[in-house]
Amino acid sequence: MKNILAVGFGGMAGSLLRMAVFQFAGAGLGLWLVNIVGSFAIGIAAARLAKRSAETRLFVSTGLIGSFTSFSAFSADWFRLLETSLITGIIYAFGMTAASIAAAALGLLAGRKGRWND
């Protein structure tokens, strides 16, 4: 039950944060921001939370960061772009994917180095 509550409360917080970013930056830029920042955060979480409790890892990774990022909105935008331009859709998909993977890698490195260490 603790795991379910951890994911639920993290999910609520993450989705509210995502909505705040969308309100501030707009849906287009907001989607890029939440996915890239969320990918960076998941990298840090992977490095920093490995020894924490299951509830903490689930709250942060699955709940908070998982609901902050939005693969479904990315997919919807991608299909919309594909309908108008195949090239634009492909560039968008590769751009978002590459930026998110790079951000996750940088987050993992940041989580393992420097002042982040215990």
**Binding site as annotated, residues for Na(+):** 66, 69
| Rg of the chain taking only CA atoms, in angstroms | 15
The token duo for 75 is 């997919």
Q: Is 2 exposed, middle or buried (0-12, 13-18, 19+ CB in 10 A)?
A: exposed
Q: Detail the residues annotated as belonging to a binding site.
A: 66, 69
